[in-house]
């Protein structure tokens, strides 16, 4: 699989503050790359630099294997569609008319308009004035604009912002379908872990301008460490007994939390508790949630 976006040591300074620090991103062909981070982490700034809308302070950006410079920028970005911030439209014109204006600017044939309207499921509303569109329809029209010309790469900055749950679901399904159905690579940003979890195959997590995780979503899930939660009738005494055995544990919500043990070891400690007349009433396996991992990586509680 080739790399569609590679950044090396990418930095952006605003005033005296470095807002994007030494970013080495790798977005491989055919993935949905979820670019996740708390508000103000530097996601939009990074995407704008990739799209040539902001000038990097340092570092390089390669798209489709070619390092982007002022001479080749336009020819490379011809194959990139984007949705950055809420797009504005002519409200007195229809969806199709708005798309016609963009397709002319992009040098794309008119017949592509019906194709993109179909992908975003707006074909039945194309003759309606955009001023009468719902927020979700406007956002889908934004995606349609990005899809004009059948780009190989889509860069979408928080495309579900401002949408209701049904709109979010629809946008998410659309984005997920793009690599398989149209062979596109998608980089999509969000501050919502649950959204990236449901949409992306690969994840880059940015915190205060720094990349703190980059790998497949499944690798992120593997980081969630299993632990054993035990509920007894006397947790205080149980902690002392386990402590004597060299087993460290902490109490949380009425449970003793032990790091994952082999089954025979755990069985040994449980029978020891029985021998010491401590009733064991629950034994459960738990996994650290993705939210906990996100918190560890970024030091910021995640919004769901």
* Chain positions contacting ligand ATP, by CB under 6 A: 14, 19, 37, 39-45, 191
Q: Which is nearer to ligand ATP, 208 or 287 (CB)?
A: 208
Closest by CA to 209, choosing from 29, 23, 85, is 23
Closest by CA to 40, choosing from 192, 213, 206, is 206
CB of 39 to ligand ATP, least distance (A): 3
CB of 17 to ligand ATP, least distance (A): 8
How is residue 120 written in tokens? 């975003």
Q: Which is nearer to ligand ATP, 37 or 159 (CB)?
A: 37
Q: Which is nearer to ligand ATP, 157 or 197 (CB)?
A: 157
CB of 83 to ligand ATP, least distance (A): 13
CB of 47 to ligand ATP, least distance (A): 8
CB of 241 to ligand ATP, least distance (A): 48
CB of 48 to ligand ATP, least distance (A): 8
| CA gap 159, 151 in Å, rounded | 17
Per DSSP, the residues of 109-169 read: -THHHHHHHHHTT-GGGTTSBGGG--HHHHHHHHHHHHHTT--SEEEEESTTTT--HHHHH
Q: Which is nearer to ligand ATP, 192 or 273 (CB)?
A: 192
Q: Which is nearer to ligand ATP, 85 or 284 (CB)?
A: 85
Q: Which is nearer to ligand ATP, 77 or 206 (CB)?
A: 206
């Amino acid at each position: 699989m080739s790399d569609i976006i590679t950044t090396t040591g990418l930095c952006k300074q605003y005033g005296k503050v470095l807002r994007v620090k030494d970013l080495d991103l790798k977005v491989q062909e055919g993935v949905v790359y979820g670019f996740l981070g708390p508000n103000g982490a530097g996601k939009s700034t990074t995407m704008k630099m990739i799209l040539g809308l902001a000038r990097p302070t340092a570092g390089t950006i390669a798209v489709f294997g070619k390092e982007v410079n002022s001479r080749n920028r336009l020819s490379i970005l011809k194959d990139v569609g984007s949705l950055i911030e809420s797009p504005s439209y002519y409200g007195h014109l229809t969806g199709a008319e708005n798309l016609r204006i963009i397709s002319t600017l992009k040098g794309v044939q008119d017949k592509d308009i019906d194709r993109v309207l179909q992908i975003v499921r707006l074909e039945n509303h194309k003759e309606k004035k955009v001023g009468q569109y719902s927020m979700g329809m406007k956002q889908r029209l934004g995606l349609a604009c990005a899809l004009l010309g059948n780009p190989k790469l889509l860069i979408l900055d928080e495309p579900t912002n401002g949408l209701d749950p049904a709109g979010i679901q629809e946008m998410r399904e659309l984005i997920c379908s793009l690599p398989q159905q149209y062979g596109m690579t998608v980089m999509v940003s969000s501050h919502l872990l649950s959204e990236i979890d449901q949409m992306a195959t690969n994840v880059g997590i940015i915190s205060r301008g720094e990349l703190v995780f980059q790998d497949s979503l499944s690798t992120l899930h593997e980081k969630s460490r299993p632990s054993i939660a035990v509920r007894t009738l006397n947790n205080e005494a149980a902690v002392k007994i386990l402590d004597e055995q060299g087993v460290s544990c902490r109490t949380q919500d009425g449970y003793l939390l032990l790091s994952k043990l082999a089954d025979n070891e755990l069985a040994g400690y449980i029978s020891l508790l029985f021998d010491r007349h401590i009733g064991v009433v629950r034994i459960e396996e738990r996994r650290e949630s993705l939210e906990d991992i996100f918190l560890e990586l970024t030091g910021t509680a995640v919004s769901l």
